[in-house]
Structure 1
């Protein structure tokens, strides 16, 4: 077992053979994702050389690919996003609501990601806002952050939306804050039924407009009668909408978001081994008390499952709605803070924007003195050769 195993290692060793074997079935996005992860933090993407003038130590650092599907590149992106969002949090409890698509709808989503993912975002947000605005339930205008995930623990295709929602919102006349009951947000049976109805209506509209494609195992659904039967069947099922335990305050929300917003299908830390053309990785069995297990897949199947979760170019996987929508978020949050008597002492949990810290030189691993950049090269260039210190240094 090697803790240093990465998805990039798997793509470098077996990616070319996989691309050759599936040449007619790989799209542009999948090819680009594989190429980016293969090259991430290698000399091919460029980098810089830094050294210590005190002891002469030299260290090479390669550039990252910055692809949003790469397990190595999401840490910095998550930190930047959290820094921008920290000041948006309110001193109220936050709820975590999950909307999941049934399997027969998921198969349509896979072949029509841009259209169906957009419907998922729109109808889930509309469901929350409509039910919350109903005086029978809350009677408030809410805000939310929605994050798309498409994977299960074993890399199966499982599209679902994680929604982080403040526990309350402004009244309809905008004069007061209406808070949820403690540990209760909205009735989830009501949410589930409304989400199912809104989603199926939107899916039917997309079908009638000729926006959906069907091929392979679901090609027969292109027939209007077959599609109508599918909608009828899906409309009789219970759609899974559930809530996880509410967060205690803004700090917990930030900790959660740091794990979820920029997550990819599988983290490198879950990989166990690659041997004899097979990949072994860790997963948690949530149906049996989060029991840790290991799964071994043929390397081609592992790559296939990983690529199931690529997102179309230009598609935003994180979206904001209600008073957290991008257009007038600052003004709306200011109004919310006034309603909440928001001059809250820091001890009560008000999240403050993270201060930007100027980058400091990395210390030398040998003597601890600051390292300095002594050479840079870019994508397509050859790394510079030494020596990097002259005798007078």
Structure 2
């Protein structure tokens, strides 16, 4: 795959030092900047491959594998999807979105681990509770939740994307219960229960002294001020959105490929970096709902661009992809096999894994069966040297350096 003409790494390389000199960052944010700047450069080491027939040689530098790196996440998504393919069932799949209101999103930004975790728990409990209710589906369901913390313009907008098969197992585990065609669970009922569960959890966190408040929010330490903030939110409509079901398993995989390992902005959305700042493509969904042009470009100063990008660095060890119910990791394979037996579904054949131009998933050392033919003569490429981070290869050839 050809390298984009402009990448987040280029912006950080040109403006990162000035940004670091003026801003105090967390350890996690510093790690992200360092990883992206070093990704697929000599700083991380690499390997040399040479054609056994014509002596054509290529240097491939190692990737950083940081989950916030736009370069690395597309490859990570392919690996993850290959593992998920065996979990797909021949049933309709539904896509739901659970979002936090703006006043709570502001608190969430200062308490990422606590409130993002609460968002996962409240949404999961909401779906499981409504689904098992005989008035709705009367079944135990499974689903995958993916956290996104950004809007299209990289502002802070925490929300969950949830993918769920259209049905579940009966309480005794003997039958598969399908939802009504085109309808999974009632959105209004989901929204109200989600609101109640989240606000109960949020109040418990506050009462336990587990929330921090900085900037414009220190007054929320006081119980009365915090209660006053929550009061109107108990009556407001919270956004829970259900999209139409996917067209089939292939459409589910295509969706997951776009969403599971997405970062705040993809390199493909970057347009230009010049004296005016950084220009990128974004989608104005408010304009779309009013019928106006909604695919736009936005230009931010380099400082503001980097600031927005770093808003979405997650706490170390925080899992942004989680499986629930029937898809819980510990018993997923056993449960999926049981469901397939009940509905007499065939076992899917795993699709071959795609790789980049070097025959590997992240431009790191390729396995023997993934080595591509020589681009010059079609011969077999062989590994001739590995070199350590910060060093240069010792091999002397007319080499091509590949950072794609």
Cα offset, 1:371, TM superposition? 2.2
CA contact (8 A) 1:49 1:58 kept: yes
Q: Which residue of 2 aligns with 1:10?
A: 11
User: Deviation at 1:254?
Assistant: 0.9
Report the Cα distance in structure 2 between the residues aligned to 1:201 and 1:352, rounded to whole angstroms: 44
CA distance in structure 1 between the aligned counterparts of 2:369 and 2:256, rounded to whole angstroms: 24
Compute the displacement of 1:184 (Å).
0.5
Task: Report how far residue 48 of structure 1 moved.
Answer: 1.2
Residues 58 and 334 of structure 1, relative CA distance in 2, 3 Å threshold: closer
For residue 365 of structure 1, what is the aligned residue in structure 2? 375
| Residues 192 and 238, structure 1, Cα contact 8 Å, conserved in 2 | yes
1:99 aligned residue: 98
Does 2:350 align with 1:353? yes
Q: What is the match of residue 231 of structure 1?
A: 230
What is the number of residues matched between the two proteins? 380
In structure 2, distance between residues paired with 1:373 and 1:271:
34
Give CA deviations for 1:259-304 in whole Å, capped at 9, x if unaligned.
1100111000110111116100011222233732100000000000
CA contact (8 A) 1:323 1:329 kept: yes
Alpha-carbon shift at residue 335 of structure 1 (Å) = 2.1
- After superposition, residues 1-393 of structure 1 pair within 5 angstroms as 3-22=4-23, 25-276=24-275, 278-289=277-288, 291-342=294-345, 344=346, 351-354=348-351, 359-384=369-394, 386-387=396-397
Write the distance in 2 (CA, Å) between the matches of 1:65 and 1:55: 31
- Partner Cα distance (1:277, 1:36) in 2: 26
Tell me if the contact between 2:45 and 2:391 (Cα under 8 Å) persists in the aligned partners.
Answer: yes
Could you say what secondary structure the match of 2:330 adopts? coil
1:109–1:42 Cα change, 3 Å: same
Contact 1:151 1:265 in 2 (8 A): yes
Contact persistence 2:78–2:353 (CA under 8 A) = no
Moved more, 353-362 or 324-333: 353-362
Contact 1:251/1:351, CA 8 A, preserved across alignment: no
Q: Give the Cα–Cα distance (whole angstroms) in 1 for the partners of residues 276 and 284 of structure 2.
A: 25
SS at match of 1:331: helix
Q: Which moved more, 1:270-279 or 1:115-124?
A: 270-279
**Contact kept? 1:125, 1:321, Cα under 8 Å:** yes
**Which deviates more, 50-59 or 193-202?**
50-59
| Pairwise CA distance, 1:388 | 7.5
Supply the RMSD in Å over aligned alpha carbons. 1.8
Q: Distance in 2 between matches of 1:12 and 1:128?
A: 44
Does the CA-based 8 Å contact 1:153-1:284 persist in structure 2?
A: yes
Q: Which runs of 5+ in 1 are unaligned?
A: 345-349
Offset of residue 365 of structure 1:
2.2
CA contact 2:385–2:395 (8 Å) conserved in 1: no
Name the TM-score, length of structure 1 as normaliser. Answer: 0.93
Cα distance in 1 for partners of 2:295, 2:7 equals 20
Rounded to whole Å, the distance in 2 between the matches of 1:215 and 1:356 is 46
Query: Which residue matches 2:357?
Result: none
How far apart, CA to CA, are the structure 2 residues paired with 1:329 and 1:53? 45
8 Å Cα contact 2:46/2:386 also seen in 1: yes
The 3 A distance-change label for structure 1 pair 374 and 284 is same
SS of the residue 2:70 aligns to: coil
Q: Displacement of 1:379 after TM fit?
A: 1.5
Q: Distance in 1 between matches of 2:85 and 2:140?
A: 21
Instruction: For residue 245 of structure 1, report the CA deviation from its aligned partner.
Output: 1.6
Please state whether the residue corresponding to 1:174 is helix, strand or coil. Answer: coil
Aligned to 1:347: none
Q: Which runs of 5+ in 2 are unaligned?
A: 355-367, 400-404
Deviations 1:323-343 (A, max 9, x none): 10112112222222222233x
- How far residue 248 of structure 1 moved from its aligned partner, in angstroms, is 2.1
CA contact (8 A) 1:43 1:383 kept: no
Is the CA contact 2:99–2:158 (under 8 Å) kept in the aligned structure 1? yes
